[in-house]
Amino acid sequence: MDNEYREDMATPLGQDVKNPLERHLLVTVSEDTAHQYGLRFVGNFLHTRETLKVTLFYVAPLPPQAYGKPDFLAPEHVDLTDRTTEMRGRHALEKAAKTMAAMGLPEGRIRTRFKFREYSTAQDILTEAHRGLYDAVVLGHRGISSLEQFWNPSLGRSLLDSQFAVPLWVCRRPDYSRRNVLLCVDGSGPSLCMVDHAGFILAREEEHHVTLFSVQTPNLEDETVTGHIFGLARKTLLANGLPAERIQTKAVSSADTAEAILAEAQEGRYAAVAMGRTGSSHGFLKRIFLGSVSTTVFNQLEGAVLWVCQ
pLDDT tens-place string over residues 283-303: 433 434 444 566 677 778 999
pLDDT, residue 39, reads 93
- pLDDT band, very low/low/confident/very high, at 20 (cuts 50, 70, 90): confident
Which of 117, 150, 170 is the endpoint of a domain?
A: 170
Residue 211 belongs to a domain with what CATH number? 3.40.50.620
The CA-CA-CA angle for residues 36, 41, 46, to 5°, reads 145
Percent helix, percent strand, percent coil in the chain, to nearest 5: 40, 20, 40
Q: Are residues 76 and 103 in the same domain?
A: yes
More confident: 174 or 8: 174
- Shared domain check, 61 and 135: yes
Residue 243 shares a structural domain with residue 159: no
User: Do residue 93 and residue 144 come from a single domain?
Assistant: yes
DSSP β-bridge partners for residue 294: none
User: Are residue 158 and residue 196 in the same domain, yes or no?
Assistant: no
Residue 159 shares a structural domain with residue 194: no
Of 116, 138, 170, the position where a domain reaches its end is 170
For residues 120 and 38, the model is more confident at 38
| 278 DSSP 8-state letter | S
Judging by beta carbons within 10 Å of its beta carbon (0-12, 13-18, 19+), is residue 69 exposed, middle or buried?
middle
Average pLDDT over residues 92-106: 95
Q: What pLDDT, on a 0 to 100 scale, did the predictor assign at position 80?
A: 52
Residue 1 lies in a domain: no
The predicted model scores a pTM of 0.83
**Is position 300 within any domain?**
yes
Does a structural domain hold residue 2? no
Q: Which domain holds residue 187?
A: 179-309
Q: Do 190 and 93 have their domain in common? A: no
Q: What is d(CA 172, CA 169) in angstroms, rounded to the nearest whole number?
A: 10
Q: Which one of 28-32, 196-200, 290-294 scores highest in mean pLDDT?
A: 196-200
Pick the last residue of a domain from 170, 198, 215.
Answer: 170
Total domains in the fold of the chain: 2
Q: Do 19 and 141 belong together in one domain?
A: yes
Query: What's the mean pLDDT in 152-158?
Result: 36
- pLDDT tens, 218-266? 766 567 788 999 999 999 999 999 999 999 999 999 988 889 999 999 9
Quick one: 205 and 284 in the same domain? yes
Residue 279, pLDDT above cutoff 50: no
What is the predicted pLDDT for the residue at 140?
A: 81
Across 21-30, 232-241, 272-281, least confident range: 272-281
3-state class (DSSP) for residue 125:
helix
What pLDDT was estimated at residue 240?
97
Q: Please tell me whether residues 237 and 145 are part of one structural domain.
A: no
**Residue range 161-176: mean pLDDT, rounded:** 82
Could you tell me if residue 251 is inside a domain? yes
What does the pLDDT read at residue 84? 81
Sign of CA dihedral 296, 298, 302, 306: positive
For 31-78, what is each residue's pLDDT tens digit?
877 778 999 999 999 999 999 999 999 988 776 555 555 555 544 454
Q: What is the pLDDT of residue 143?
A: 54
Say if residue 163 is in the same domain as residue 185.
Answer: no
DSSP 174: B
Residues 153 and 183 in one domain: no
